[in-house]
Amino acid sequence: MNANLFSRLFDGLDDPARLAIETTDGQRISYGELIARAGQMANVLVSRGVRPGDRVAAQTEKSVPGLVLYLGTVRAGAVYLPLNTAYTLNELEYFITDAEPSLVVCDPSRAQGIGALAAKVGAKVETLGADGKGSLTDAAEKAKPEFETVARANDDLAAILYTSGTTGRSKGAMLSHDNLASNSLSLVGFWRFTDKDVLIHALPIYHTHGLFVASNVTLFARASMIFLPKFDPELIIKLMARATVLMGVPTFYTRLLQSPALTKESTAHMRLFISGSAPLLADTHREWFARTCHAVLERYGMTETNMNTSNPYDGERVPGAVGHPLPGVSVRVTDPETGKEIARDEIGMIEVRGSNVFKGYWRMPEKTKAEFRDDGFFITGDLGKIDAKGYVHILGRGKDLVISGGFNVYPKEIESEIDAMPGVIESAVIGVPHADFGEGVTAVVVCDKGAKVDEASVLGALDGRLAKFKMPKRVFVVDELPRNTMGKVQKNVLRDTYSKIYSK
């Protein structure tokens, strides 16, 4: 049997006429047509010199041809390398010289600059614009749809995704055909996906969430997706009348809650709302349920592992928790210093093992070795705990741990207290250099407009609720927290912003 992800997705297709994708401009693409387009794309890639194992880098806006490029790359046995559309030429230089792709696909407006970078590694360049037009699609329209899917083994690479690189160099996570297929099939069962489902696909496709979870799960289930070029709250609410599933980041849900059109009636046709890529505030979880009578299903994944845990489909979806390990995935919490497993409800380092876990970091064998235990568990870098009922709770990144006066301070504990205060929308707690304490606990808070929240009121509310060593030494009220494109709060940016406050 061919272990190529493409073969596992489409071999044995029962009905080629089944709808796979519809777009906001009226396109309706069947499974048969999607397979044919992927064949055309694979033929173009091969004609451009792409061989099995070669990397195909893509920095393109979201479009159906962009998704076809991913499928065609995998079908040709090459390795797909999606790149965030926000990356500058300076940032792209690192990714291109590190991955050494044989082909780079980009927006026509960036062809000249990216062409100079591609030339350094001998890569060809093709273009693909936000409108789906470019040299790549021009060639694909003339290519044959027939293509024999290249044989791949379970362990062969299907994709490389670079981590966000908030500390040090970005690392290329190497994901195999089996990593992607096994995780998606697990999610199809766990989230009860069927061929009757219609997904509202509003996520970008340069990231695990939109590319592998949303797209692969839908296709494995023989379901269909409504392919949106970007997040549009009012359109999404209208689409809920005929869709069944929405996958989003927390920002999706906070923005949707701002619309008066979001009601129990407008969401009545929906089966499931899934959130991930960043923590969903417990208050958002409760407000969503109050408005819609739907409990958001929160799950936990990362670039290196795809999905690790999920709140149950049937059973309690606990606000602030990310559920239980998925079938075939093992999760444990260990002492960050010793690596020994610790008891329930104790905070430590989250480690995972399973067929979802990546093969290692591209051309970084020492880094790969350092991130894996001898028994195969991957050290995620996330701090958390497993409670008495087996629910996993994420409490922050290991690098976000604050050590103040020799004491460990877990930001999530303080953030939960601050977030519960009247008028507070959200908060971020960081540690910044402090001459006396090593790091000073510092809180950055976002409030409702007109709320009477300031440094004194926050400190007053925390007094007596937290040990003295956990108390913030300073509190700053701001309009918004810095976030990356997936909605994660960029604490590294906050640490830079406030790095000098205790040196004055």
Q: By three-state DSSP, how is residue 307 classified?
A: strand
The confidence band for 332, taking pLDDT boundaries of 50, 70 and 90, is: very high
> Could you tell me which of 353, 56, 303 has the C-alpha nearest to residue 173?
303
For range 327-352, the mean pLDDT: 95
**What's the CA gap between 397 and 77, in Å, rounded?**
35
Within 10 Å of residue 21's Cβ, how many Cβ atoms? 23
Compare 333 and 399 and report the one with higher pLDDT: 333
Q: What are the strands of the beta sheet with 329-334, ordered from one edge?
A: 329-334, 348-354, 378-386, 392-397
Q: Is the pLDDT of residue 448 over 60?
A: yes
Q: Which residue has the tokens 């958002």?
A: 284
**What's the CA gap between 367 and 379, in Å, rounded?**
11
Task: Write the pLDDT tens digit of every residue in 149-187.
Answer: 999 999 999 999 998 654 457 899 999 999 999 999 999
Task: Write the pLDDT tens digit of every residue in 65-96.
Answer: 999 999 999 999 999 999 989 888 988 999 99
**What's the CA gap between 160 and 177, in Å, rounded?**
11
Phi, psi torsion values for 183, nearest 5 degrees: -70, -40
The answer to whether residues 172 and 57 touch, using CB atoms and an 8 Å cutoff, is no
Average confidence score pLDDT of the chain:
94
First to last CA, the chain: 66
The fraction of the chain above a pLDDT of 90, given in percent, is: 85
The answer to whether residues 297 and 245 touch, using CB atoms and an 8 Å cutoff, is no
**Amino acid at site 356:** N
The sign one gets for the Cα dihedral 462, 466, 467, 471 is negative
The confidence band for 246, taking pLDDT boundaries of 50, 70 and 90, is: very high
For range 460-470, the mean pLDDT: 89
Residues 6+ apart with CB under 8 A from 347: 333, 383, 384, 385, 395, 410
pLDDT of residue 408: 78
Task: Write the pLDDT tens digit of every residue in 39-55.
Answer: 999 999 999 999 999 99
The answer to whether residues 31 and 222 touch, using CB atoms and an 8 Å cutoff, is yes
The answer to whether residues 42 and 56 touch, using CB atoms and an 8 Å cutoff, is no
The answer to whether residues 155 and 176 touch, using CB atoms and an 8 Å cutoff, is yes
Task: Write the pLDDT tens digit of every residue in 219-228.
Answer: 999 999 999 9
Residue 440 tokens, joined: 């000073």
Q: Is the pLDDT of residue 114 over 90?
A: yes
For range 477-502, the mean pLDDT: 91
> Could you tell me which of 187, 171, 168 has the C-alpha nearest to residue 378?
171
pLDDT of residue 166: 44
Q: Is the pLDDT of residue 282 over 80?
A: yes
Q: Which of 26-40, 146-160, 348-362, 425-439 is the least confident region?
A: 425-439
For range 15-19, the mean pLDDT: 98
Q: Which residue has the tokens 């392919």?
A: 227
pTM of the predicted model over 0.85: yes
pLDDT of residue 438: 81
The confidence band for 407, taking pLDDT boundaries of 50, 70 and 90, is: confident
For range 336-348, the mean pLDDT: 93
pLDDT of residue 344: 96
Burial label, 194 (beta-carbon count in 10 A; 0-12, 13-18, 19+): exposed
pLDDT of residue 287: 95
The answer to whether residues 392 and 321 touch, using CB atoms and an 8 Å cutoff, is yes
For range 282-297, the mean pLDDT: 95
**What's the CA gap between 389 and 345, in Å, rounded?**
10
Beta-ladder partners of 329: 354
DSSP letter for 419, please. Answer: H
Q: Is the pLDDT of residue 293 over 70?
A: yes
CA distances for 22 relative to 63, 67, 128, 312, angstroms? 11, 13, 20, 29
**What's the CA gap between 188 and 301, in Å, rounded?**
15
Beta-ladder partners of 446: 426, 478
Degrees to nearest 5, angle at CA 359 with 185 and 392 = 60
**What's the CA gap between 324 and 439, in Å, rounded?**
34
pLDDT of residue 401: 84
Residues 6+ apart with CB under 8 A from 416: 282, 320
Q: Is the pLDDT of residue 15 over 50?
A: yes
pLDDT of residue 171: 93
Packed helices 111-120 and 89-99: angle between N→C axes, nearest 10 degrees: 30
Rg (the chain; Cα; Å): 23
pLDDT of residue 409: 85
DSSP letter for 421, please. Answer: S
